[in-house]
Structure 1
Amino acid sequence: MPTPLPFSSFLIFFFGSSLIFTPPSSSSSSFDTFLFGGCTLQKYTPNSPYPSNLNLLLSRLVTTSATIPYNNVTVLGSSPQDTIYGLYQCRGDLPPNDCYQCVTRAVTRLGTMCTDAYGAALQLDGCFVKYDNKRFFGVEDKTVVVKKCGPSIGSDLDALTGLDPALAQLVTGGGTYRASGAGDVRSVAQCVGDLSVGGCQDCISEAIRRLKSACGPSAWGDLFLAKCYARFTRGATHAEGNGYGYGYDANGNDDSKDNNNKTNKTIAIIIGLIAGIALLILFITWLNKRYEKGHGCR
């Protein structure tokens, strides 16, 4: 059996939507936010069987994502080099239609991001898609892919101690997707569905350990390993942001101020429209009275 490539072998690697795609607009769905992606350096020849096998695999991934949140697919080729393995994993709280939309968009982006590459991986906020001609199903990989921390909250003891129980509940929780909270801290973790129960537990535990060490005194934190992730956020940011309740954009910036500004502008526009309509009604009423008065004098 060929040795699977670790995630670190994706040498052409990208972080942040601005490096690959234009940042998503404010109207884009939260699950469509680009987090990271990478491609293998090895390229296939366009006239080989690999492109058609890849298209078949990706179409199967997209089709099944409409009904189930995780699936892995193998398309056998005429040679080991042309055999391809792929999977997708949707965020555990996504409804089926959003899962389907997320996987569809991820597959579309991979087509432009990793042209002619034997292997590729892409993590959007709502789903993860990966394929390669080396079998990687069930292989544990704790390579750190993304580590991002929000602004420091200083030495607020209440806030600092609130993180421990929120993350501890993720460690003890079961399943591939886990969501928890304690006080004003909200936390989530998820592993890819090809891992065993023990492999998933090991991966999530490691992600949480690294997350707490790196981002403990921060307003929010993200720690993505190759096969799992752990994230948390605090306080008022719960009310805004993506499906996790995070109040920051794809670049880690707090977007709550932008949302408040947009709300204030919307209210101002509505008030202006109401005032304009009221003035128009008064003007029409005045014209009507002038008209009636003029006819009454004849």
Structure 2
Amino acid sequence: MNCLIVRIFWLWILIFARPSTAAMNSFIYIGCSQLKYAPGSPYESGVNSILTSVVNAAAFSGYNTFKFPFPASSAVSGLYQCRGDLSGSICHDCVSEAVSRLGSSCVGAAGGAMQLEGCFVRYDNATFVGVEDKTVVTDKCGPPIDGGDESGVLTGKDGVLAYLMAGGQYFRVGGSGKVQGLAQCVQDLSISECQDCISEAIQRLKNECGSSAWGDMFLGKCYARYSERGYTAKHDENDDEMEKTLAIFIGLVAGVAVLIVFLSVLSKLLDRKGGSSGK
């Protein structure tokens, strides 16, 4: 009986507590170059080689860069990076998904970039590896903070953004009160360039998402995000549905455990009664 309860408990842990591959594969943005390459050209071979290398490498590390240099006129570079808190398997799954989507969305494009929740992949014929890029790629601000705890959330937001600003690492995560934040640079930048990029992203967040419950700011080589509901950035009704589902599941597990205990006790009582009658 106890073994069965333990198994049910660990089933719950496996379903709800571990990071979700599906969540990390959620779409954020894609960009495809207007410049096209000819089918069957050396450049197409370079793109295919780069993207294959990206997928293979993601099984072993969270970041890498590649270059296909020959011929010089068809040189292509690529890189990928996963979010700093992901396991190797989820990183690999995310990068594989990003490369698959790039292949179907940027057909024949000389360059492409894909940002998913858990990873970033880019390839191009232009020189971009090691070059800082503070261009705004996409930005979103949530609804205004509910009036009930506006001051507390704003204080938490200011605190977490200040913490992210003062970071000093490529990947930064922290919380203040109810608010959590996340920031990351692509590791082809120097630490000083990373700091400059994240500072720019955070300043834009402050200016554009002043009283919002959450905000996302993605620049060319970095991003900064904050959320009252956590840095996984699920800013929609799916959070509430997940919480309800989790509550129902926990209730069912507890109910099954109580039923098992009751049946076990009842079985023992019946066995004893049967034994007494036999005497």
Distance 1:49 1:165 in 2: 51
Task: Choose the corresponding residue for 1:52, options 38, 45, 50.
Answer: 45
Structure 2 counterpart of 1:34: 27
Would you say 1:129 and 2:112 are equivalent positions?
Answer: no
Structure 2 residue identity aligned to 1:92: G
Distance 2:195 2:121 in 1: 21
Q: How does 1:18-97 map to 2 (within 5 A)?
A: 29-80=22-73, 82-97=74-89
Which deviations, in whole Å up to 9, do the C-alpha atoms of 1:247-296 show, x marking residues without a partner? x2xxx423222123434665788879x99xx9xxxxxxxxxxxxxxxxxx
Task: Choose the corresponding residue for 1:256, options 235, 239, 243.
Answer: 239
Would you say 1:172 and 2:166 are equivalent positions?
Answer: yes
Offset, 1:79: 3.4
Distance 1:263 1:188 in 2: 25
Structure 1 gap ranges (5+): 1-26, 239-243, 279-298
Change (3 A) 1:245 1:124: closer
TM-score by length of structure 1 reads 0.74
Structure 2 residue identity aligned to 1:105: E
Q: Secondary structure at the match of 1:128?
A: strand
Which deviations, in whole Å up to 9, do the C-alpha atoms of 1:178-229 show, x marking residues without a partner? 1111111111100111112221111000000111222231211111111100
Distance 1:109 1:32 in 2: 11
Distance 1:269 1:70 in 2: 41
Structure 2 counterpart of 1:147: 139
Would you say 1:226 and 2:220 are equivalent positions?
Answer: yes
Structure 2 residue identity aligned to 1:57: I
Q: Secondary structure at the match of 2:137?
A: strand
Structure 2 counterpart of 1:20: none
Distance 1:92 1:135 in 2: 25
Is the helix fraction higher in 1 or 2? 2
Cα RMSD (Å): 2.9
Distance 1:208 1:144 in 2: 12
Q: Secondary structure at the match of 2:162?
A: helix
Structure 1 residue identity aligned to 2:95: V
TM-score by length of structure 2 reads 0.79
Structure 2 counterpart of 1:186: 180
Offset, 1:154: 4.7
Distance 1:159 1:51 in 2: 50
Task: Choose the corresponding residue for 2:100, options 108, 112, 132.
Answer: 108
Kept in 2, the 8 Å contact 1:170–1:188? The answer is yes
Offset, 1:43: 0.8
Percent identical pairs in the alignment equals 46
Structure 2 counterpart of 1:289: none
Kept in 2, the 8 Å contact 1:154–1:217? The answer is no
Aligned length: 250
